[in-house]
Structure 1
Amino acid sequence: MAVPSALPSPSDSTAPPGPLPPTPVDVRPRLTELRLSAFAGHRRTGLPLGPVTLIAGRSGSGKSSALAAYEALARLGGGTPLGEVFPDPLACVPERARPDREGRRGFRIGCTADGAEGPVRLDVAVQAEPHLRIVGERLTADGVVLLETALRDPGRRTVQAAWHTAGSAPVTRAPLPDDRLGTALLPLRVAGKTDGQRRVLAAAEQMVVALRSVFPCDPRPECMRRPVPTGSGRLLTGCDNLADVLWRTRAECGRRHALLVEAVRAGCAGRVTDLVAEPLPDGTVRALLDRGDGFRTGIGLLGDGELRYLALALVLLTGPGVLAVDTPGEVPDALRSLTLLTDNFDRALDPGQRRALLQVAVRMAARGHIRCVGAVSDATWAAGEEGVTVVHLGP
């Protein structure tokens, strides 16, 4: 990326204005669209995803199932077997979907990942009955099909895959297991010798990195109030071990901790000068709010809204090294965005807390290292907030 080596001095009135440096292009892989072609209560549903996205709708409109589809794609991208991703696959089949002559029913989901390779689309068809299996998968970029799989022999637990080669043969064909996402397996199968193969690998890597960098979070205040044993210092999805994580992060990153304390002041009642973790004689650790006058309040005394606010703020202000998420270790943090998924984003929060938390999400997303997708029943309170994409489901 070329940048002018010298710009005219502002005091030099005779010099013509120099060209502005180009705007940096964000090449971090990230999902920009979630497609629910036929999934649970959704038909032909497309959800645009921005740095901060709120999915709004009444109870039963499909907010939770949309997040479930996103999380399912993320787990498939990480190589998790299909049966672990969908323990109850029939719940994902559209209610009015009728079986074909062989008694087969299923569902279809997909997404688009943007990054250095441009928009890359992934679409997956899953058979839920009589046997759970991936029966079709397509990875495309710029209108070119880079990977396509299809079920040829129902009696075998494989699908026939064909990926773009653009060499002496236009495609390479080979069987792949029907319980794994083929896109995630491509780095183990594609040699990368031709331009076509290298294009396939680059697109697959972009999709997999975008999918794997996901942290589903649903803070459970009833579990956060108790002291916890010291452990890995990696935050669990329910945030039960928040005190243990604070014990680690307060010592390791003073700048991020100061930002967290600033956020806590906006979301917790009373004066807050610090957020500390205190080891106890039995080997556990508890978290406390320092009130600055020699008095400390254990977080066990905080309300549900304060605890949920505290936990989500901590997630937004940390990163993959602190969260219990399996991110691709071969990709530098600078080239990766972590996506926070949270159902009932504003549950138990008062108006001031939810707006302060949203502003934390927007501020951190602007740095490019974190994205946020949350479900809310009503998003009118977020109207006009710059950097927030609101998607309405239902009538």
Structure 2
Amino acid sequence: MDPTRAPVGADDRPALSELRLSSFKSHRRAVLPLSPFTVFAGPSGSGKTSALQAYTALARLGGGERVGTAFPDASGCVPERARPDPQGRRGFRIGCTVDGPVGSVRLDVAVQAEPELRVVGERLTSGGQILLSTALRDPARRTVQAAWHTAGSVPVTRAPLPDDRLATALLPLRVAGKTVGQRLVLAAAEQVVVALRSVFACDPRPERMRVPVPLGAGRLHGGCGNLAEVLLRTREECGTRHAALIAASRAGCAGAVEDLAAQELTDGTVRAVLDRGALGITPVGRLGDGELRYLALALVLLTGPGVLDMEPVAEVLPALQAMTVLADGFDRCLDRRQVRELLSLAVRMGERGHVRLVGAVQDRAPAEGVAGVSVVDLGV
């Protein structure tokens, strides 16, 4: 069976339906709708990259990472015209909506970037009901006061939580799930965390794919520099998907493509090669930047969490998770034909319900010609 043409059933996999940039870099009160296949379009400076940075940061927070890791340049995320309060504090606010079995769940986060980086406020809501809220009560303490819905003998439970992590990601460790209210809180938090953690951010770097690489764990990095190593693994493990990758390569690369393989060298490294049929073997290092980025993005769309360097929620079955590929500069170095081929491949893979895509493009025209792809124009 062609892996890009599998039937679709009822799909309750948690997924983001909206990204909110209330006050983040150049964005003010921005509400960006997200479909299964969304591209942010607009000229340079319209905020495409910053929108993907906010999404990536939320994903890291959802994975339990500290706020300093999620926002390595937190001061640069503060809107340029934001003025400090009398205590010298400045920050930013972002959020998202996640649809899934619980319905629509909203997460909103307020981050203080200066003078100290910390999460100063968070709210998790569903159906108009506040399930979790946090607030900074004492700036001298490295905690926030959290309150979550209980609906038992005590309607709300209050406790201090660290101010450097997302409280929503910590709830499973703090909530027992004994009451109906607690179970609702846990279900909503799990829905958000599953959607946020099921993210693979990638920006293929052609210069890294041109040189042989040592053998490793066989998991594709975000820059795709270890493409050859991963090809060695995927070619052996799944012939059907590898055949789909070859078909995609023919559509996006110039000249004949009979096979795409990894060639082990005498020094223990491996390089990727194209079998050109009668023309012989060509190292992929000889390809143009656009062809290399095309190959890497096609491989990402045709694989999954087991091959990509990402950590989805281990406690939830893979069939209940939808991987979201975040691709900044999705059309960089690509011609319109290649962009259309990749978007069409994403849509075909998405028919299985396992893959979503959010990318940033300079030229919206190729995306507008692909059924199923939504264009969010940030230049308007």
Taking structure 1 as the reference length, what is the TM-score of the superposition?
A: 0.93
Distance 1:247 1:254 in 2: 12
For 1:113 and 1:382, locate their aligned partners in 2 and report how far apart those are by CA, in whole Å.
Answer: 24
Please point out which of 299, 309, 322 is paired with 1:314: 299
What is the CA–CA distance in structure 2 between the aligned matches of 1:331 and 1:66, rounded to whole Å?
A: 28
* Structure 2 spans left out of the alignment, 5+ residues: 1-7
Match of 2:242 in 1: 257
Matches within 5 A, 1:132-281: 132-281=117-266
Does residue 1:365 correspond to 2:370, yes or no? no
Structure 2 match to 1:50:
35
Distance 1:31 1:381 in 2: 24
Find the aligned partners of 2:266 and 2:259 in 1 and give their Cα distance. Answer: 22
Q: CA deviation at 1:25?
A: 3.2
Following the alignment from structure 2 to structure 1, what is the Cα–Cα distance between the partners of residues 279 and 317? 42
Deviation digits for residues 130-174 of structure 1, max 9, x if unmatched? 111111000001111110000111110000000000001111000
**In 1, distance between residues paired with 2:10 and 2:135?**
36
Letter in 2 for 1:52: F
* Percentage of pairs with the same residue: 70
Partner Cα distance (2:39, 2:362) in 1: 10
Instruction: Answer whether contact 2:339 2:367 (CA < 8 A) is retained.
Output: no
Q: Which runs of 4+ in 1 moved over 3 A?
A: none
- Report the counterpart of residue 311 of structure 2 in structure 1: 326
Q: Give the structure 1 partner of residue 329 of structure 2.
A: 344
Residue 60, structure 1, aligned to residue 45, structure 2 = yes
In the alignment, residue 373 of structure 1 is paired with which amino acid?
V
| Higher Rg of the two aligned structures | 1
> Structure 2 CA distance, aligned partners of 1:372 and 1:288?
27
**2:346 paired with 1:356:** no
Pick from 79, 91, 95: which aligns with 2:80? 95
Q: Which letter maps to 2:338? A: Q
Distance 2:367 2:311 in 1: 31
Question: What is the rounded CA distance, in whole Å, between the counterparts of 2:78 and 2:154 in structure 1?
Answer: 38
* Superimposed CA distance per residue, residues 78-136 of structure 1 (whole angstroms, 9 cap, x where no aligned partner): 01111111121110001111111111110000001111111110000001111111110
The one-letter amino acid paired with 2:87 is: E
The answer to whether the 8 Å contact 1:51/1:366 transfers is no
Aligned mates of 2:117, 2:372 — CA distance in 1: 39
Name the residue aligned to 1:112: 97
Q: CA deviation at 1:384?
A: 4.1
**Residues of 2 paired with 1:33 and 1:246: CA distance?**
34
SS in 2 for 1:100: coil
Alpha-carbon distance in 1 for matches of 2:180, 2:193: 20
Aligned residue identity for 1:103: G
Deviation at residue 24 of structure 1 after TM alignment: 4.4
CA contact (8 A) 2:43 2:379 kept: yes
Q: Which runs of 5+ in 1 are unaligned?
A: 1-22
Question: 1:296, 1:352 → 2: CA distance?
Answer: 25
- Give the 3-state SS of the residue equivalent to 1:25 in structure 2: coil
Q: Is the 8 A contact 2:325 2:357 kept in 1?
A: yes
Distance 1:196 1:53 in 2: 34
The 5 Å alignment of 1:14-93 reads 24-93=9-78
Provide the C-alpha distance between the structure 2 equivalents of 1:279 and 1:219, rounded to a whole number of angstroms.
Answer: 22
Report how many aligned residue pairs link the two structures.
Answer: 373
CA RMSD for the aligned pairs? 1.0
How far apart are residue 385 of structure 1 and its match? 2.0
The alpha carbon displacement at 1:378 in A equals: 2.1
